[in-house]
Chains A and B, each alone.
Chain A
Amino acid sequence: MATLTATAQKPAPPGILTHRAVRKLLVLAVAAAVLGPVAATQWPGAAWPGALTVDVSEPLGRASDWIIDNRDSHPLFLYFFGHVSNVVVLAVRAVYLALLAVGWAGVTAVGALVAWRVAGVRLALGTAAAFLACGLLGMWVPTMQTLALMVVAVLASVVVGALLGLAAGLSDRMDRALRPVLDTMQVLPAFAYLLPVVLVFGIGVPAAVLATVVYAAPPMARLTSLGLRGADKEVLEAVESLGTTARQRLLTARIPLARKELLLGVNQTIMMALSMAVIASVIGAGGLGDRVYQALASVDVGAALAAGIPIVLLAVVLDRVTGAAGERLGGPGAAGKSPLTWLYVLLAAAAVAVAGRLGDFLDWPDGWELNIAEPVNRAVDWMTAHLYSDVPVVGGTADWAAHFTSWVLNPLRDGLQWLPWWSVLLVVATLAWLIGTWRTALTAVLAMAAIGVLGVWDPSLDTLSQVLAAVAVTLVVGFATGIAAARSDRFERLLRPVLDVFQTMPQFVYLIPVVALFGVGRAPAAAAAVVYALPAVVRITAQGLRQVDPAALESARSLGATSAQQLRQVQLPLARRSLLLAVNQGVVLVLAVVIIGGLVGGGALGYQVVFGLAQGDLATGLVAGAAIVCLGLMLDRVTQPTERRTQKKGA
Chain B
Amino acid sequence: MSATAHDTGAADDAVNGTVAERPPVFSVSGLWKVFGPRAERVPADPELAALSPAELRSRTGCTAAVADVSFDVRKGEVFVVMGLSGSGKSTLVRCLTRLIEPTAGSIAIDGEDVRAMDRTRLRSLRRHRAAMVFQHFGLLPHRTVLDNVAYGLEVQGLGRAERRERAAGIVAKVGLEGLEQRRPGQLSGGQRQRVGLARALAVDPEVLLFDEPFSALDPLIRRDMQEEVVRLHREEGRTMVFITHDLQEALKLGDRIALMRDGRVVQLGTPEEIVGSPADDYVREFVRDVPREQVLTVGTAMRPASSPDEAATGPAIRPGATVSEAIEAVARAGSPARVMDDGRCVGVVDADALLEVVAGVPGGGRAAGPAPGPQGAATGERPEPAGSRPEPAGPRPAADEEPV
Interface residues of A (CB under 8 A from B): 232, 234-235, 237-245, 248, 252-253, 256-257, 259, 332, 334
Contact = CB atoms under 8 A, between A and B. Distances in A.
Interface in B115-143: 122-128, 131-132, 134-143
Contacts of B140: 235, 239, 252-253, 256-257
B350 interface: no
Given A234-B134, A237-B99, A332-B185, A244 B142 contact: no
B136 A241 contact: no
Given A237-B99, A256-B142, A259-B142, A243 B136 contact: no
Given A234-B138, A253-B140, A256-B142, A241 B132 contact: yes
B152 A242 contact: yes
B126 A243 contact: yes
B151 interface: yes
Contacts of B186: 332
Interface string B136-170: 11111111000000011011100000000000000
Contact of B203 (A240, A242, A257, A332): A242
Contacts of B91: none
B131 A241 contact: yes
A593 to B, nearest CB: 39
Interface in B167-191: 183, 185-186
Given A234-B135, A237-B99, A242 B151 contact: yes
A374 to B, nearest CB: 53
Contacts of B87: none
A259 B186 CA distance: 18
B244 interface: no
A237 B185 contact: no
Given A238-B134, A239-B140, A240-B99, A252 B151 contact: yes
Given A248-B155, A332-B186, A237 B134 contact: yes
Contact of A237 (B138, B141, B142): B138
Contacts of B103: none
A334 B142 CA distance: 8
Contacts of A245: 123
Contacts of A244: 123, 155
B249 to A, nearest CB: 20
A67 B386 CA distance: 96
Contacts of A334: 142, 183
Contacts of B131: 241-242
B180 to A, nearest CB: 13
Contacts of B154: 252
Contacts of B124: 243
B97 interface: yes
Contacts, number: 73
Given A232-B138, A235-B140, A253-B140, A241 B151 contact: no
B94 to A, nearest CB: 8
B402 to A, nearest CB: 30
Given A232-B138, A243-B155, A238 B185 contact: no
Given A243-B152, A334-B183, 13 more contacts: A234-B137, A235-B138, A235-B139, A238-B137, A239-B138, A241-B99, A241-B209, A242-B131, A242-B203, A243-B122, A243-B125, A244-B155, A256-B142
Contacts of B134: 234, 237-238, 241
A241 B196 CA distance: 12
| Chain A residues touching B, majority SS | helix
Contacts of B99: 237, 240-241
Contacts of A232: 136, 138
B151 A243 contact: no
B127 A257 contact: no
30 contacts: A232-B136, A234-B138, A235-B139, A235-B141, A237-B138, A238-B132, A238-B134, A238-B138, A238-B196, A239-B140, A240-B99, A241-B99, A241-B132, A241-B134, A241-B209, A242-B126, A242-B203, A243-B122, A243-B123, A243-B125, A243-B126, A243-B127, A244-B123, A252-B154, A256-B140, A256-B142, A257-B140, A257-B141, A257-B142, A332-B183
A643 B365 CA distance: 61
A637 to B, nearest CB: 32
A257 B154 CA distance: 17
Contacts of B94: 237
Contacts of A234: 134-138
Contacts of B137: 234, 238
A617 to B, nearest CB: 54
A235 B185 CA distance: 14
A259 B136 CA distance: 21
A261 to B, nearest CB: 13
B101 to A, nearest CB: 12
B281 to A, nearest CB: 35
A241 B141 CA distance: 17
Interface string B93-118: 01001010000000000000000000
Contacts of B132: 238, 241
Nearest to A253: B140
Interface string B241-259: 0000000000000000000
Contacts of B143: 256
A332 B142 CA distance: 9
A260 to B, nearest CB: 10
A241 B155 contact: no
B126 A240 contact: yes
A256 B140 CA distance: 9
Contacts of B123: 243-245
The 4 closest A-B pairs by CB, nearest first: A238-B138, A243-B127, A243-B126, A243-B123
Among A232, A238, A252, max chain B CB count under 10 A is at: A238
Contacts of B199: 238, 242
A259 B131 CA distance: 27
A238 B127 CA distance: 12
A237 B126 CA distance: 12
Contacts of A332: 183, 185-186
A339 B185 CA distance: 24
Contacts of B136: 232, 234
Nearest to B209: A241
A239 B155 CA distance: 9
A459 B146 CA distance: 65
Contacts of A241: 97, 99, 126, 131-132, 134, 209
- Which of A235, A245, A248, A257 counts the most B-chain CB atoms under 10 A from its CB? A235
Contacts of B209: 241
A245 B196 CA distance: 20
Contacts of A242: 126-127, 131, 151-152, 155, 199, 203
Contacts of B151: 239, 242, 252
A501 B196 CA distance: 43
Nearest to B143: A256
Contacts of A239: 138, 140, 151
Nearest to B100: A237
Interface in B225-264: none
B278 to A, nearest CB: 33
Contacts of A235: 138-141
A238 B155 CA distance: 12
B203 to A, nearest CB: 7
A243 B127 CA distance: 5
Contacts of A256: 140, 142-143
A332 B184 CA distance: 9
B149 to A, nearest CB: 11
A251 to B, nearest CB: 11
A495 to B, nearest CB: 30
Contacts of B126: 240-243
Nearest to B138: A238
A641 B394 CA distance: 59
Contacts of B127: 242-243
A294 to B, nearest CB: 48
A262 to B, nearest CB: 12
Contacts of B152: 242-243
A89 to B, nearest CB: 39
